[in-house]
A and B are shown apart, each in its own frame.
Chain A
Amino acid sequence: MSVTRRTGWFLAAASVVATVAYGFACAPASKQAAGTIGAADAASKVYVAPGQKDEFYAFLSGGFSGQVGVYGLPSGRLLKIVPVFSQFPENGYGYSEETKPMLETSFGNIPWDDLHHTALSQTNGEDDGRWLFVNANNTPRIGRVNLATFETEEILQIPNSGGNHGSPFITSNTEYTIASTRFSLPIPQADVPIADYKKAFKGTISFVKASEPGKMDVAFQLLVPGYDYDLARAGKGPSKDWMFFTSYNSEQAYEKLEVNASKADKDFIAAVNWKSLEACATAGKGELWPANYAHNVMDEFTRVATTEFKKQVRVLTPASCPNSIYFLPTPKSPHGADVDPSGEYIVAGGKLATVIPVHSFAKIQKAIADKAFETAVDGIPVLKYDAILAGEVKDPGLGPLHTEFDGKGYAYTSLFISSEVVKWKLGTWEIVDRAPTYYSIGHLMIPGGATTKPSGKYLVAMNKITKDRYLPTGPELAQSAQLYDISGEKMKLLLDFPTVGEPHYANAILASKVQAIQKKFYSIADNKHPMATKSEPETGVSRSGKVVHVRMTAIRSHFSPDNIEGVQVGDTVLFHITNLEQDWDIPHGFAIQGATNAELLIMPGETRTLKWVPKALGVYPMYCTDFCSALHQEMQGYVRVSPVGSSVPLMANTVKAQGQAARAEKFKH
């Protein structure tokens, strides 16, 4: 069949009209999507002039990178990457002899994890800026980052846990950070058929002591029904003794969860009174179960990490500690359970629900007192939905996940499927605004949004898909966050910024709180590292069997010693390098050819050790990797490696001290 001439003309004309119409209608719209303000206006709001500083620190979880990305807000500038559960060749974390133990677990040294959530330490329900806690999802762990140094100082493995997703949410005075199991398991572990899921699999909710650095510990675990525990949030104000955990798969499916775990109308939020559990634990209720889990601590003064394996854990059950756990029925596989700043409302994000249900803490207390129970599961009372419901936000959009608050009476919920943020009013439950995200927002974050005092100025959306938002980079595209201005009635999109790894959740805090406690360098006088070398005359080499210890110092712009001879093939050479600087922002680096691990970055006043096993004879260069000074490039040296059994004596030159002693001597005459 052929197109007639007339039809051809018609089609041509129509397509021209369509193109022009499309151009007029869509060109401006596509450049400025709904919720976007004028580019210049937005630019001025995120512009932090050279030399000026951001108002907030934002800590974005690095997801599968096992790290935390630290950004300034509102600029979105990346300030630092803090490795927690991942080896970091950039500074030797997890490679240096001092930091290797940080990654120790009962499974061995695990150099990676999936870091999902962050929790800033709190005092009286407010962020205090001391520490950042983060979770490892895959091999259950909780890490603590010291915000004076931005270094990981402590990691505690969580026993009896599979998939530490509902973690590390924190109580309002940092009493406990928590860990709950995404995957239920045979607890304790056992060789059982997977089909025995319903009878053999359990979940645990762990409370980890968090208030004393270096002393994190699983205070007690509560054994709970074998569901998938997802996210959690501590109460605050009137509800501060409670913790709320979402769960899904109350169907207890163990295969094809996609379908089989989405059948029930309602799943549960577990409302747990941790004060009551604490009292039970203190009273010796429950049982001490044998366990094996690592506790890794970086000592403040040696700056050497050590691992202790803990051998038991206190396990409580709902029966051994009655009145400590209740189930709140909540529509359709809830994700977030978020408590508003007053502590009264618990907002659930039912991923597959058509409403956002909000529970009332006061009503929960009344329902418990009135025994308004629908039923009980494994001895856990299930409260009546209608008795505890404060209200429902109707038609919020598709896939409500997670909610934060601005402290001005509004809540902001992320909607994964419809890819937007919806703003609604607490109490009236009416939707007042919505803004699209690009694309598929997971969590969102408002600085202080998890505390009693949110700063309702900005909102950060963490997106799962970026498609056409950035220059393409092959099959994997930039991970991204978006910054919204929420100071006015309408949310305004200000900025897209790429992130490290896939951020699942984040916290942000007023910069002044963290700036105030910054450490500029480690005091060399306080350096208690067993191999610390505090002056150049103390440097040298020694051999014990096949191990050669090099005690070395680094100061602008030389190593001492910078030539070493007498090392033999197959020796284990340990370079213990002390950075003698006592000045801010003067790390030295150390690298040697053929090292199979990484480099070292040594902070001023600190000692770090790199292991090197030369495999062949020759002379190998070593050098400083951190551009420390004008003569950084001269900061280098050699190690001569001789055959096994060689008669070359072990020796090292030490750079002649421009020492005070020599000077003092001169002045005396």
Chain B
Amino acid sequence: MFAPRLNRWLTALAALLLASALLFPLWSVSLIAPQYPEGLGMYIWAHTVTGVGANDLQNINGLNHYIGMQTIVPDAIPELAIMRPGILAMSALGLLVAALGRRRLLQAWALALVAAALVGLVDFWKWEYDYGHHLDLEHAPIKVPGMSYQPPLIGSKQLLNFTATSLPATGGVLAIAAVVLAAGAAVLGGGATQPTPSRRAPEPRAARMSDDAPVLTHR
């Protein structure tokens, strides 16, 4: 059975939004303290972690050594190595299912996307938990009994003198919009239509790129 044309367009749009999320940071963590009225901040991208200011990451790491927090080294976070190709693959797949127009495929893709998003968030939370709790107390100059330093997933939290605020950044908003659109496309009803070759969504380039991620395309 074929999905309604609107749903297929939504799916294609969701796929493109998802890919565009790679152009922006997904999440931002900002830190404000009396000593840092201008704030320090980190951006979490699909492929790396950067400071908002040129030396913010270095300065955050410098400050974190006081509480024994592990140094944030983007290259040492394996997820950052696979997230970008994964997102690209999902995006290509989305374009493909939009083109094929099969409702089942479309629903499967949407489900996979929602699942991947949830896994991503849980994984991010786990990293935050790890950084916040697994402290090198033996070498930490500042030890506050019972204190952990896990920033929230979304929202603000006081961590000693810092107010840590964690929010989706532009890329995150785009990705969330993609997930919502995909879910909408999967559940919305409507009259089925036959795909016409001339009205296919343009996807050859993205489809080619899906070859780069065979694991996901073989789902």
A667 and B73 contact, CB distance less than 8 A = yes
A663 and B73 contact, CB distance less than 8 A = yes
- B59 lies within 8 A of chain A by Cβ: yes
User: In the complex the two chains form, what is the Cα distance from A219 to B66 in whole Å?
Assistant: 55
B59 and A582 contact, CB distance less than 8 A = yes
A667 and B77 contact, CB distance less than 8 A = yes
User: In the complex the two chains form, what is the Cα distance from A658 to B136 in whole Å?
Assistant: 10
B71 and A630 contact, CB distance less than 8 A = no
- Cβ-neighbour of B66 out of A581, A630, A663 (below 8 A): A630
- Cβ-neighbour of A555 out of B54, B62, B77, B139 (below 8 A): B62
Q: Which residues of A contact B141 (CB under 8 A)?
A: 557, 631, 634
- Expressed in whole angstroms, the minimum distance between the Cβ of B163 and any Cβ of chain A is 18
Q: Which residues of A contact B62 (CB under 8 A)?
A: 555-556, 581, 583
Interface size on B, residues (CB 8 A): 19
User: In the complex the two chains form, what is the Cα distance from A491 to B70 in whole Å?
Assistant: 62
B76 and A668 contact, CB distance less than 8 A = yes
Q: Which residues of B contact A663 (CB under 8 A)?
A: 70-71, 73, 76
User: In the complex the two chains form, what is the Cα distance from A667 to B51 in whole Å?
Assistant: 20
- B165 lies within 8 A of chain A by Cβ: no
- B133 lies within 8 A of chain A by Cβ: no
- B55 lies within 8 A of chain A by Cβ: yes
> In the complex, how many residue pairs between chain A and chain B have their CB atoms under 8 Å apart?
41
Chain A residue at smallest Cβ distance from B40:
A583
- B212 lies within 8 A of chain A by Cβ: no
- A49 lies within 8 A of chain B by Cβ: no
Q: Please judge, given known A-B contacts A630-B66, A664-B76, A667-B73, whether A658 and B59 are in contact too, CB under 8 Å.
A: no
* Binary contact track B69-100/A, C-beta < 8 Å → 1, others 0: 01101011100000000000000000000000
- Expressed in whole angstroms, the minimum distance between the Cβ of B129 and any Cβ of chain A is 16
A582 and B55 contact, CB distance less than 8 A = yes
- Expressed in whole angstroms, the minimum distance between the Cβ of B50 and any Cβ of chain A is 15
User: In the complex the two chains form, what is the Cα distance from A664 to B65 in whole Å?
Assistant: 15
- B142 lies within 8 A of chain A by Cβ: yes
- Cβ-neighbour of A664 out of B54, B55, B59, B75 (below 8 A): B75
* Binary contact track B138-150/A, C-beta < 8 Å → 1, others 0: 0101100000000
- B58 lies within 8 A of chain A by Cβ: yes
Q: Which residues of A contact B76 (CB under 8 A)?
A: 663-664, 666-668
- Expressed in whole angstroms, the minimum distance between the Cβ of A235 and any Cβ of chain B is 44
Q: Please judge, given known A-B contacts A630-B66, A667-B77, A668-B76, whether A660 and B59 are in contact too, CB under 8 Å.
A: no
* Binary contact track A537-563/B, C-beta < 8 Å → 1, others 0: 000000000000000000111000000
A582 and B58 contact, CB distance less than 8 A = yes
Q: Which residues of B contact A664 (CB under 8 A)?
A: 73, 75-76
Q: Which residues of A contact B66 (CB under 8 A)?
A: 556, 630-631
Q: Which residues of A contact B38 (CB under 8 A)?
A: 584
B139 and A658 contact, CB distance less than 8 A = yes
- Expressed in whole angstroms, the minimum distance between the Cβ of A463 and any Cβ of chain B is 37
Q: Which residues of B contact A660 (CB under 8 A)?
A: 61, 71, 73
User: In the complex the two chains form, what is the Cα distance from A555 to B66 in whole Å?
Assistant: 12
- Cβ-neighbour of A630 out of B61, B139, B142 (below 8 A): B142
Chain A residue at smallest Cβ distance from B59:
A583
Chain A residue at smallest Cβ distance from B141:
A631
Q: Which residues of B contact A659 (CB under 8 A)?
A: 71
Interface pairs A-B: 5 shortest CB-CB:
A667-B76, A582-B55, A663-B71, A664-B76, A658-B65
25 contacts between A and B (CB under 8 A): A556-B62, A556-B63, A556-B66, A557-B141, A581-B59, A581-B62, A582-B55, A582-B58, A583-B55, A584-B38, A630-B142, A631-B66, A631-B142, A658-B65, A658-B139, A660-B61, A660-B73, A663-B70, A664-B73, A664-B76, A666-B76, A667-B73, A667-B76, A667-B77, A668-B76
